[in-house]
Amino acid sequence: MPLVIDTYNVLQTTGVLPPELAGIDLEALLALIANSRYRNQKITLVCDGTSKGRKRISLAKTIALKFSGPHKTADDLIVELLDKSSHCRRITVVTSDRAVAKAAKARRCATLTSQLFLEHLTNDAQSQNKAQPASEARSHKPLDDKAVQQWIDEFQLDESELQKPASKPPTKKASPASPSAPATPSTLTFSNAIQSKKRKKKKT
């Protein structure tokens, strides 16, 4: 269902977005929409004023940005767009302005308050963040010194067995006569050292 958004009415709505998103601008609003349930819908954002002197914003193919111009308001332009449309019943107007909402309903459009629209965007953004696997977030986090010491104590590792990361990869090739020779303790990585200790415990 196409949306016609009373843009500044949405941007000026407070008390809905979490602190890290509060006070968003037009570009941030577009980013939220792009990652929301509305991302594949045809959307017209209606703004007061003109685009002169404004930062140029890249828009998705499904999004149109319209300015009312110097002699009328965004409210006026929204009403004009609805009057020109031949499928008003399929349009949802996003606004908390009573006059705009009344004009939309008079033309049999659906309406959605700016507060509820922002709640949808917030919920979608939070759901997307929760969907990221926790293991992915942990995979890039190195062990701190305390965690390393706990592993050393747990498996009774000899720190001399742990190889410090080399600045350059070794260039010496293995001898052809013994291609499968086991690595010496001095060449064990931290992970391999732990596995080695586990195998030793099993043997004993």
List phi, psi (to 5°) of 6: -80, 85
Evaluate whether residue 176 is within a structural domain. Answer: no
Q: Looking at per-residue confidence, does 69 or 202 come out higher?
A: 69
CA distance 44 to 90: 14
Please, are residues 45 and 25 in contact by the beta-carbon 8 Å criterion?
A: no
Evaluate whether residue 135 is within a structural domain. Answer: no
Please, are residues 89 and 108 in contact by the beta-carbon 8 Å criterion?
A: yes
**In a shared domain, residues 113 and 45:** yes
pLDDT higher than 70, residue 175? no
CA distance 19 to 113: 20
In which element (H, E) is residue 4 found? Answer: strand 3-6
Compute CA distances 87 → 3, 16, 82, whole Å. Answer: 12, 31, 9
**In a shared domain, residues 90 and 11:** yes
User: Which of 40, 48, 54 lies closest to 1 in space, CA to CA?
Assistant: 40
The confidence score (pLDDT) of residue 72 equals 94
**In a shared domain, residues 92 and 163:** no
- Stretch 100-122: mean pLDDT: 96
The confidence score (pLDDT) of residue 88 equals 92
**The total number of structural domains that make up the chain:** 2
**In a shared domain, residues 156 and 110:** no
pLDDT, tens only, 52-105 = 878 788 888 999 999 999 999 999 999 999 999 999 999 999 999 999 999 999
Average pLDDT, the chain: 79
User: Which of 8, 40, 50 lies closest to 25 in space, CA to CA?
Assistant: 8
User: Percent of the chain having pLDDT more than 70?
Assistant: 64
pLDDT higher than 50, residue 122? yes
Evaluate whether residue 47 is within a structural domain. Answer: yes
pLDDT, tens only, 60-74 = 899 999 999 999 999
CA distance 61 to 201: 63
pLDDT higher than 90, residue 186? no
CA distance 69 to 138: 50
Longest dimension (CA), the chain: 89
Which domain, by its residues, includes 73? 3-130
User: Residue holding tokens 């742990």?
Assistant: 162
